[in-house]
Amino acid sequence: MQGRWAEGATYAIADVDEIVAYAHERGIRVVPEVDVPGHTYSWGLAYPGINADCPSKIAADIGHINDVPLDPTNPLTLEIVGTIVGEMAARFPDKFLHIGGDEFDVSCWKSTPVCI
């Protein structure tokens, strides 16, 4: 899997279902977070072109995961975000989703002509 932080640093669907069921049995709400538009540099490793152009930030490693945001003008970006939100809605019974939005540097959008 491209874009994961480390080997095994992912949740399988069965893992998510187990966590949600375990929490539900104990009266705990599990509210997932999909931190966008920042924290998505790794998404661009799997889907090139969905991140904003940011030559001053993009490095050969994953060191700028907080700095390189999604490109909201790319239709593929919106399709991927929609798919992820849909999958989350199917797995989590709560009606809420946290989208983060912190640790986001707008300078990449300023250097991407279509985002200005």
Q: Residues with catalytic annotation?
A: 103
CB atoms under 10 Å from CB of 107, counted, come to 13
Of 96, 41, 34, 94, which is closest to residue 64 (Cα–Cα)?
41
H or E element in which residue 15 lies? helix 13-25
CA distances from 43 to 12, 24, 85, 107 (A): 17, 30, 14, 19
